[in-house]
Chain A
Amino acid sequence: MSGSIDNLNKMFESRVRLALMSALVANEGLDFNSLKELLGASDGNLASHANALEAEGYIKVKKTFLGKKPQTTYSATAAGRRAFTEHVDALAELLNISR
């Protein structure tokens, strides 16, 4: 029974991180400003959570230039997608048990 609670990923305990990962899994890639608007998060908040996910190897960061403006694009890695799917499965299982 406790199996599925153990399967919950500590990385996704934060609301912002979970939302960030959800958005990236549903898209090929999203730029910093689109993400900021979607999550309603501040620059610093989004950047720190993105760094944490990058350090874990769950997301990739690509920096490019759009004309003269630097643009940061985030995308989910295969490992990140796997971790996210497992987390969602664990949540679903918990929901079934508690019903």
Chain B
Amino acid sequence: MNNPGQDLSEIRSMMEKSSRVLFLSGLAGIVIGCIALAGVFFSQYINGSVTPDKVQGYLLADAMLVLVAAIVTVLFFSNRMARQKGLPGWNATVQHLVTELAVPLSAGGAVCIALLIHETYWLLPSTMLVFYGLALFGASKYAVTEVRFLGLAQLCLGILAAIIPDHALNLWALGFGACHIVFGLRIYFAYER
């Protein structure tokens, strides 16, 4: 007969491996956090050094650059980690995770564009944080538990950013910058070392 303890741990690991995406990379989190912080610092610099009529264009370009850099970072590190650990690449679980993220994020993106059109800039940080938080919270059942807490943190910061718009950008930096770095460190030390 097999050893019951070994059987149980194999059952557990198979259930986890088959239903959760385990190759979210902590390093990616750290890099994204740094990119977000760099973006915020750069936007402060733009605000002080560019003529007001050009400021919006520069800020938008800054934001787009941060977004693209973040997506490239996630894809790069996840792909690398999946290969290193021999985890399944594109399967049903990854599809679930991507769908669960894509729906709230697309809705959030659309709302952000609407806010831009109506020049309601003060609500942008809050909207981004809230939709991102909802996306993470919903997707967390297909990923490691920490994602759930990251989602909750972003949600709280987003609501706070709507209540105190004067600090909206600082709260955004806290959410997309600091929270990602803390999350990344936690994931890195818990699963990757």
Instruction: Choose from A13, A19, A37 the contact partner of B91 (Cβ within 8 Å).
Output: A37
Q: Are A88 and B8 in contact (CB under 8 A)?
A: yes
Q: Are B5 and A95 in contact (CB under 8 A)?
A: yes
Please name all residues of chain A whose beta carbon is closer than 8 Å to the beta carbon of B93 when the two chains form the complex: 27
Known: A13-B2, A26-B19. A37 touches B88 (CB 8 A): yes
Q: Are A91 and B15 in contact (CB under 8 A)?
A: no
Residues 37 to 74 of chain A near chain B (Cβ within 8 Å) = 37-38
Q: Are A18 and B88 in contact (CB under 8 A)?
A: no
Instruction: Choose from A22, A34, A88 the contact partner of B92 (Cβ within 8 Å).
Output: A34
Q: Are B91 and A34 in contact (CB under 8 A)?
A: yes
Taking the closest CB of chain A, its distance from the CB of B53, in whole angstroms, is 52
B60 within 8 A of A: no
B7 within 8 A of A: yes
Q: Are B7 and A27 in contact (CB under 8 A)?
A: no
Q: Are B92 and A30 in contact (CB under 8 A)?
A: yes
B11 within 8 A of A: yes
Please name all residues of chain A whose beta carbon is closer than 8 Å to the beta carbon of B10 when the two chains form the complex: 15, 18-19, 22
Query: Which residues of B are in contact with A by a Cβ distance under 8 Å?
Result: 1-2, 4-5, 7-8, 10-11, 14-19, 88, 91-93
Can you give 25 contacting A-B residue pairs, CB < 8 Å? A13-B2, A15-B10, A22-B10, A22-B14, A23-B14, A23-B15, A23-B18, A23-B19, A27-B18, A27-B93, A30-B18, A31-B92, A34-B92, A37-B88, A38-B14, A38-B18, A38-B88, A88-B8, A88-B11, A91-B8, A91-B11, A95-B4, A95-B5, A95-B8, A98-B4
